[in-house]
A and B are shown apart, each in its own frame.
Chain A
Amino acid sequence: MKYLMAGLLALLCGFFLADFLFRQQASEVKTPGNIPFDHALHGDSIGLDCSHCHTGVTYQAHAYLPSKTDCMDCHRLPLTENPGIEKLDSALSRAEEFPWVHKRVLPEHVVFHHGLHFAAGVQCSDCHGSTEKIQKNRYGGERFTMQSCLDCHSGKTFEGRGFKKAAIHCGACHR
């Protein structure tokens, strides 16, 4: 009996060891370029709307990431007295045309249309959190699950907001 228990323990330890050694690595979140970007500084402090940089978000499936040209629209001029601005300017001048590359986190059998949710009155922060949270996690720090979609679609998550109930049949979001 003792040997059997020892064997089982060894097996269990083996599982843990195997899990430690061979588990699927968490997908890497790419730190965008060398440009020190702060979501809170652009959003909350100067009041830019998300759709200023994520131009697709109000009417297209994808929100999109800004190109360097989009940044330069404002950053052509020295904007503040902050000494960090020089560092930013040099980083911007060295950056490639598309400094941020979107890595798809949504599985390809799921469809999500940003513009459709925007039209229904869902705010960006309802799913992505506040700008501070976005800054801390970068994008992709969110943990979206089918349950979180379903909770909102069946009217549970934002009960006080008066959203219409959304479709919960499989074919509405899956293909």
Chain B
Amino acid sequence: MDRREFIKACSVVALMQVLWGCRRLPDLSGGKVPEIAEFEKEVRLALSRAKGAFDLVQVPMPGPLDVHGASPVNRFGMAIDLDACDGCGKCILACMQENNIPLSSKGERDAGRFMHWIEMHGGTPAMCFHCGNAPCEKVCPTGAASHTPDGLSTMMYKRCTGSRFCGANCPVGARKFNYVDSVKEGLARKFNPEVPLRSKGVMEKCSLCLQRLQDHKHAQMATRPGVEWRGSGLKTACSEACPKNAIIFGNWLDQESPLVQEAKHRNLYVPREIANLDPSVVYMRGRR
């Protein structure tokens, strides 16, 4: 083979590789969608492998957010009543169904790692605490982790490039990374058409049911445009599902909110690691 033929052959091979690389890939999912019973089973497994309890410290009631452009009238959050919660795990299942959270693969499950946005820490549920001064958002290189003016630490999945810096910088480990394509692996089920499924390589976490807040806000702005939106009457999926009414959602800046009404008579606690980060989700215990 002379030089000319060699280069010709190389060009042909390169061309074939380009064409091969550009072909449209077939859908390999096979259409497998897990049964609801599998989600229930995984929640039971997660409950049996609960993580260690947090070291709680007392904090004052969350006030207005200390960030640029924050809303002076809305700051959404939750309070989890540790006196009422019995750790049944119904909130975890409700959250999975509301937010289309995928199952974990067998290896991950055996290692005790789940995609659940709510996890049990010493028998009490813990999700993202939506810190006002969130350390995860500071390290996001693409701005996918950002704060809304009304106090939600949100994830823009399409912006996420999967650096996982946020997960590494979260003191309570509330962020979950999609290591696998859960749709192709047959691990995801679209319970709620309003919430997009996350693709491989994307970080996710509790969104404080952002979709419910958006829908509620838009509906009110369309039908009663003059009225200021305070999110009254709204509940997250976990607080709706709790049989003991231990998870209370509301607006910290609205005195009428059930959250403020309940929390003002209680002692509020947060994990020691995030006590100085101004979290919007707190635990409550005792009466005063």
Binding site for B on A (CB under 8 A): 3-4, 6-7, 10-11, 13-15, 17-19, 21-22, 24, 58-61, 107-109, 111, 113, 115-116, 118-120, 167, 169-172, 174-175
* Interface of B, helix, strand, loop or mixed by DSSP: helix
Verify B211–A174 contact, CB threshold 8 A: no
Q: Which residues of B contact A (CB under 8 A)?
A: 3-4, 7, 10-12, 14-15, 18-19, 21-24, 69, 143, 146-149, 152, 154, 156-159, 194-196, 207, 210-211, 214-215, 218-219, 221-223, 225
21 interchain pairs (CB within 8 A)? A14-B14, A18-B21, A18-B22, A19-B22, A21-B19, A21-B22, A22-B19, A22-B23, A58-B222, A107-B196, A109-B157, A109-B158, A113-B221, A115-B222, A119-B221, A119-B225, A120-B221, A170-B148, A171-B148, A172-B148, A175-B207
What distance in Å separates the Cβ of B22 from its nearest Cβ neighbour in chain A?
Answer: 4
| Pairs of residues from A and B, 9 with the lowest C-beta to C-beta distance, nearest first | A115-B222, A113-B218, A171-B148, A18-B22, A14-B15, A171-B154, A3-B7, A119-B225, A14-B18
Q: How far is the CA of A18 from the CA of B21 in the complex (A)?
A: 9
Q: B196 and A116: CB pair below 8 A?
A: no
Contact A116 B222 (CB under 8 A): yes
Which of B12, B18, B148, B214 is in CB contact (< 8 Å) with A18?
Answer: B18
Bound: A116/B214 CA distance, A: 11
Across the interface, name the chain B residue whose C-beta is closest to A118.
Answer: B222
* Contacts A108-B196, A171-B214 known; 11 new A-B pairs at CB < 8 A: A4-B7, A6-B11, A10-B15, A11-B14, A13-B15, A60-B222, A113-B221, A167-B149, A170-B146, A170-B156, A174-B158
Residues in chain A near residue B143, CB distance under 8 A: 170
State A120–B15 Cα separation when bound (angstroms).
54
The answer on a CB contact under 8 Å between B146 and A171 is yes
